[in-house]
Structure 1
């Protein structure tokens, strides 16, 4: 981002960190900010700005779940901000806690992910790439023991 001003101006710049932004890093003129960055909050930088100032935000993409509001055992899987779809015709039911599913997901290539559930392998792709495939975006966890 370039801030154009004829003279130096002091103001606070607030960067909105999205809900999936755990692990984000903010750099000001090539130097990493050492304050904690929290998802779903603003990261403020107040200073006297110059035309040559540069801000860089680096996001860390991680797998995460979003559960249904009325049933915490029904969930969708995201990679950063991207909803992943299971290329699978049947309802997906896992016999483990929802969060433990994340440990079994790996990245195959830029647009393909694999969930290995006790020997069963499920292909996952970003929802926006699904065209004619049979897919589902929700899975259910049940019959698991704590």
Structure 2
């Protein structure tokens, strides 16, 4: 699925909010992915498309993906996104926003894999460096 297709769907439906996120555990994403790369703020292209179709004003938008710190998130906020999510990083270290941390999320998606299997989400690297 690409950004234009995503926006077409969003334009037809009413939502309380939209979270732009997505993961692909071992290439098994049911509807494909709109993620481009693994860099910071890797859904920026979707936000750009949403802005071009005036969808950022339709409902609140949360963008999640690739942010490592507050400075990274500020880029999305400066783009007009009202809310930024961090997701997996809190599983790895729940204090990463308020203190220097060494336990960095490596984006292995093993925590999400557990959710897909109906288990609680835990970072398998929680106690490891």
Structure (1 or 2) with the larger CA radius of gyration: 1
**Which TM-score band applies after superposition, normalised by the shorter structure?**
under 0.3
Q: What TM-score do you get using the length of structure 1 for normalisation?
A: 0.25
- Whichever structure has more strand as a proportion of its residues is 1
